[in-house]
Amino acid sequence: MTDCTFCKIVNGKVPSKKIYEDEESFAFLDINPFTEGHTLLIPKEHYENIFDVPEKELKNLIGVSRKISETLKTKLKCDGINILNSNGKAAQQEINHFHIHIIPRYLKSKFKLNAENVLKEKSLDKSFKKIREI
């Protein structure tokens, strides 16, 4: 897509700090990192979200996520890794080109994922029934 920032990054029209590239995927440092080494991994092809990405490419992307995680752990000596992916406006997807956040975590860092608004435990039964009925 011509107006997609991530497509422009893949095509070199927007500069990025490239971490990894293969035939199908491309990874670069997030310009608004949560922590040192926060990386975005994308398919080179434009897909809006997980509902559009072919399964074969998803499998490649999760394999690459692991490779990048290993590199970040070795090079940055992080203590853990978050792998996050947002799909749709309700999930706070801001760029409509499928991307996986690979976020190194450090025991000494003050950064925390926010879990203040979790649902109450009794709602689990209702959710479980709805999901299992599909």
Nearer to Zn ion, 9 or 81 (CB): 9
101 classed as catalytic: no
CB of 105 within 8 A of CB of 82?
A: yes
Q: How far apart are CA 54 and CA 40, in angstroms?
A: 19
**CA 131 – CA 134 distance, rounded (Å):** 6
Interacting residue with Zn ion among 44, 46, 101, 105 (CB under 5 A): 46
4 or 83: whose CB is closer to Zn ion? 4
- Residue given tokens 């434009």 in the structure block: 46
**Among 71-79, 93-101, 103-111, 113-121, which window interacts with Zn ion (CB under 5 A)?**
93-101
Q: Which residues contact 45 (CB under 8 A, 6 or more apart)?
A: 24, 57
Nearer of residues 13 and 75 to Zn ion, judged by Cβ: 13
Active-site residue set? 99
Which residues would be at the binding site for Zn ion (CB under 5 A)? 1, 4, 6-7, 46, 97
